[in-house]
Structures are given as C-alpha cells and as structure tokens.
Structure 1
Amino acid sequence: MSQIATTRNAGNTAFYMLLGVSIAHLLNDAMQSVVPAVFPVFQQQMQLSFAQIGWVAFTLNVTASILQPLIGYMTDRRPMPLLLPAGMAFTLLGMLGLAAASHFWMLLASAALIGIGSSVLHPESSRVAHLAASRSKGFAQSVFQVGGNTGQALAPLMAAFIIGPQGQLGFVWFSLLAVAGIIVQSAVGRWYAGQIRLNAGSRHGAGRSDGRRFGKGFIAFALTILILMLFSKFVYLAGMTGYYAFYYMEKFNLPLERAQICLFALQFAGMAGTFLGGPLADRFGRQTVIWFSILGTAPFSLLLPYAGPVSSIFLCVAIGLILMSGFSVIIVYAQELLPGHVGTVAGLFFGLAFGLGGIGSVVLGGWMDAVGVSAMMKLCAFLPLLGLFALLLPKDSVIMAGGKESAA
C-alpha cells in the first residue's frame, strides 16, 4: 500500500507541476499579449505611424522566436531548470520599461526584453509538461497551452480596465504578475531538477527517443505543411490582435473599450478551443483536427469584415474556438515525427509562431498605411483558406504504422 500511495502522491505532484507551468504560461502570455492590445494608447501618446506600431510588434515577436529553437536544442542535451524563473525576470524588466517608456526606441527595447523572456519560458516549460504527463502527452500539451490562451484572452480586458484608466503607468501592475511568475517557476524548477536527477540515465526520460524514425523526405514534407498552417494561423491572429481594434473603432465609431470586447471574445473562445483540441484529436485524429482548425475558420473570417458591432462578437467567438484548437495538436504531431527532440520541436514551433506573427505585423502595418484599415482586414480574411493544404498531411495511421515498422 505504501508503494501505491507513493506512486499516487508522485502523480499528484506531477499534475500540480503541470498546472504550475500552465499558470506561468498564463502570466507570460497575458503580459506579452497586452502589448499589442494597447497599441492605440502608444499611437496616440507618441504619434506613431502604423508602420512603427508594426515594428514594435515585430520586435516583440521576433525576439520571442529566434532564441526558442536554440534553447530547445540545448535543453534536449542538458535540461536547465534555472531558465524557468529567469524567463520571468526578463519579462519583469520589460514591463517596468513599458511603464517608463517615453520614446519609440524605449518601446522597442522593452518589447525585446518581453520577447526574450517568452523565448526562454516556452521550450523548457513545454519539456516540464511533457515530463509531468507520463503517457498523456496530448492532454498535457493542451493543459499547458490553454494557460497561454487564457492569458491572451485576459489581456484585452486588462488593457481596457488597467491601462485604459491609468495609461502607461498601468504596466507597473503587470510587473506584479511577473513577480508571481518568478515564484511559480522557481517552485516548478525545484521539482524539475529533482526529476532530472531521478531520471538520469533512464532511456524513458523526458525528450528521449522511443525508437520511431521516419525518412527525411517524409519529415520535410510534413513539417512544411505544418509550418504553412502556422503561417496562416498566426499572421491572421497578428492582424486581429494588433489591428482589428483600429478597424472596429473606425467602422463603428466606438471607443477602444468596445473594440477590446471583440478581442476578448476571440481569445476567450480560443482558450476553450485549445482545451478541446487535444481530446478531439484523440477521437477524430490529429490530421483531421489540424486541417479543420484552419480551414474551418474561413467562413467566419470572410464574414467578419461585413458584420455589425454585435454580430462581430459572435463571429470572433467562432473564429477563436476553431482557429486555436489546432496548435497543441500541431506540436504533438511534430513531436511524433521527431521523437527524442521534445524541446527542439517545442522551441521551433513556438518560435515560428511568434516569428511569423511578428513578420505579419510589419507587413500588415505597412498595408494599413498604404491601403487603409478596412482593405487590410478584408485581405486577412482569406488566410484561413490555406487550411486546404493540411489535407495533404500524412494520416495518423501512417504516422503510427511508420513508428511501429521502425521500432521493429
């Protein structure tokens, strides 16, 4: 009985650590997502162009992306628990920088610090989720990812009710979230360090290979399709989170607070979609959920530019619910293609997500300056149609059969 109780307690502790990294993901993404949510505030106070707004978003997203694959690769070889609280420390500095920013370059520097903090957090936290999950990898990735989506959902409300009344000084309150994140990640890091010592030399440790191998051409083709799906998803989201508030205010002549309700609806529904994505993939297959999460968004995205102020909210709910259901599934699919590279895959795909969003923000900001807000939003509406290419992804049965053959 004592052994059973010990095993049960270990399982409970692992689940609490999974919740811990999910909470840290929530805090990180709330702070990161509040930056584009308050672009109208920065634009008014500093008289910024849409292109400059795009460069702030680019800096935030690119710094959040370039380090992630490298950190993932390094931690696959040598796990680094201290990176968990260190990432939050960078974000803390970025929040304080935004509170004091008075020039464009200060915005860029603060955005870079927040991006670095995010790039440090994601690969190693994803490894902790993978380790804590035991055999339920899809569920664990969904729990971890839903924390981030919850933070993204809360960001527009935080922007409306904290930054709105207080202006830039409201970012001081967000620094408290970073301090809370440091505390949570420090506790997770201690457990993680213990698990590393416990699993030292074990072939079943986090990130080790399970014997599956696929041909390079097979992997390259599948990864190309997955990256195209990320492009469609995150460039569209960059347009929504960074610029839809401008479109909403211009079209309906309504204040920023009303526009943020649409973004909250998008992100809150996305939180639910992320949580449902894993179980749906278990039931209907990962390939099916991936293509539906992109292509299934298209009817609603195409209608959104022509909807009224109330119906826009409901369309944002549908877009968020469908579009965000596939990201955790994409990561698990890619990890099965590249077993033994959990951190590298997580870093690569989180990095690509932020990088594509950053590049998209710059391009879309330039388009807005050139053709106007309305035309740019109508062009963005076609991006989810790229989900058609996901139908070319290898079926789940092919992935499993390839794994069994190579293991044999």
Structure 2
Amino acid sequence: MQLFFMTNLMKFYILGTNTDKTLWRLLKIDRMEPSELNIDEDSTMYSHSEYLDLRKTLDEDHRSTGGLNFVTNCCGIIGFIKFLGPYYMLIITEQRKIGAIFGHAVYQVTKTAMIELSSSKMKPTLLNSNDENRYKKLLQTIDLRKDFFFSHSYHIMRSLQKNFNDPQEGWDLYDTMFVWNEFLTRGVRNILESTCWTVALVYGFFKQDKIKTSGKDIMLTLIARRSRHYAGTRYLRRGVNEEGRVANDVETEQLVFDDTLGPRQISSVVQNRGSIPLFWSQETSKLIIKPDIILHEKDNNYEATRLHFENLRRRYGDPIIILNLIKTRERKPRESTLRQEFDKAIKIINNGLPVENHLRFLHWDLNKSTRSKNANALQVLMKVAFEALNLTEFFYCQASSEWLWFSWM
C-alpha cells in the first residue's frame, strides 16, 4: 500500500494505491474543524487513468483557494492523536524491509511525520500554549525507528498457528494485545469501519537469517511481541494488575521454514514471559542497586493471578508450564519472598482445577546454579525445553506459496 497526501486550506486528500498502482482509493479529512475527527472515504475504486483524472478534477475544484499542494508520500497511517487543541495525524514516511515471511515483506519504521490537521486560518489559539507544546514534545520522544515493525500483507501481530488455524481480518486484529497503536487507530477505525488505511505496529524484536542444512536453504525467524497492556519501565511496572495483565508481557515465536518455491514445510514454537503475577512493586532509587521488593497483601484469594492464567489458557491452551528462575535463599529475603508467595498461589489455583488442567510449576534457582563450577545452566535449560516440547509439541504444517491472509483492496 502506498499513500500520497494532497492538501488545500479546507481538506487533506489521501490517495492510496496497491503495490502495482493499478487500483486507487480516496480518503478525505476535513481541516475546518481541527478539534474534531471528520474523515470520509470515497467508496469508488479508481483505475490508474481514473486516478489521474481525479487529481485534475480535485485541483480544478479548489483552484479558487490555491488548488492542491503535494504534502508527502506515505507508507501507512499510524493513527490520530489529540491533546488540548487540534488533531494530529501520525504517518510512516519511510520504511525498510527487514525480512519476509512466505513472500510477505516485513518492514521497520525508518522515518515518521506528525501532521497537524488544522489549516493556518483555523488554528485555535490554544495551539501555541505551553501545555500543548509540552505534550507534543513528549510524544516525539518516542522513537518509532527502534524496535517497531509491521507488514502490509501478513498479520505479524499474531502467531503462525493462529493465522493458519483461525484466520481473521480487519477489526479483530487490532484488538489483539500486540498491536501497539490500537488506541491511536481507534478513532479512524470507528469512523470508517475499516482498517485498510492504517498499519498495525508491533513493538518488540524481529530477526531473520538463512541457514543451510541437509542441502536445503532454511529460513530461521525470531519474533518477539510486547503487549500493549500494563507495559512500562523495569521498576515502574511490576507484577499483575486487577485484570490479570502482567507487566511487560512478551510473546516470543520461532519460525522455521524451507526457503524454496512451491509447498513449504513450516514449524513454529511460541513461548511467553512476563512479570510474576502477584501484586508487588519496587521503589526506584539511584543510590540502591537492588531496591527492596514490596509484596502487597491485596489479593488473598489470588483472583488476579487466576485471571492471568485463564488468559494464557485462552490464548495458548493446555498444558501451561511455568518456569520460575528466582532465588530460593538469600541473606536478606527479597526474591525468595516472591518465590514462596507464588508457590502458594499456584497450589491454591490448582486446587480448583481438574488434574488435567493443573498448572505445571517448575522452580530452578538460576543464580545458585550459575555460581556452581560443575553446573551447566544451558544444559539444564535445554533439558527443560525438551520436556516442555514433549508436553506441548510444536506447530507444523505445509502451505502453498499462494497462502495469503490479507488483501488491502
């Protein structure tokens, strides 16, 4: 998808096209009421020749106010945001290909722009206020060039298994926990009842490499998706919230497939990590390297912990295997306090579940093991990984090169 921005004093015109520029759509954004989001989509699908005629017509219609002016090329709309005055539109103006999944390109954001919707004649007096400028600067401190990626044709916010077994389109995709800009796109999606003009950004990590084994080219892809729920910096976000969301929840997927033409062999393994699902926190301090862990006694029945594992079960199914790496013994109890409380919570939750649905709890003191000369931490973790795979197995399928889930037009 490519977008071309044109503007005059009254409207923004966004002309969107498919990859080969054979089909075009028109989106109109009103600039006369900048504190309201007024967007209209032309239902007509234009051919390339009709698109050229459309541009001439629009320019002639606005000749009295100066005609149309080109603003920028665009790779997709990130969303719309409003502080105290007008709306701003966040867009991707440059992208860099960082990989491909079955022929579907995956991109990194390399350049963005924030476009104010109000025209020079309609700027509210509030626009230049100190508060408005402060909020704009805070937003601009988020560097979308780091750790953000997206795809125009592959639903990269979902695992391969979900895309293969439970294909979805449109609105539902943005409701997943791994679409970073869900809130920013909510306004335009509500108005248009469509997602074709926006891109779904994933915050995390994407790395792809080709290896050769048994005479075959194998593509190895590692994707980490960070949840938009209850996210934050290390010490400011800990534990679980009332909805069962844990701090800094990350889903990691490893994809392996043969990079050949025709039907492909594909496998996928997914694991999840997050903060210990209890109510706890830590005080941030520049003077204390290891701040105390504060355990809050606000959930004696462990309802939030229970909600967290119910959410995991809905997302991934059974069995749920918990690998807990925190310390068992300390001179001054810190992590060990969490370990004991977590163990208690798992036992109480399991008491209310059928045996076949019990949470599998494995504790291994990583710190203690790595200090031992005879211990091989990697070997132990590999053993745990193989035992987990024996219980959960991994996803495997064969798919043709024409396997697609998404079409913008």
Mark yes or no: TM-score above 0.5: no
Query: Of the two, which has the highest radius of gyration?
Result: 2
TM tier, smaller: under 0.3
Which of 1 and 2 has higher RCO (CA within 8 Å, sep 6+)? 1
The TM-score with structure 2 as length reference comes to 0.24
- Which is richer in helix? 1
- Which is richer in strand? 2
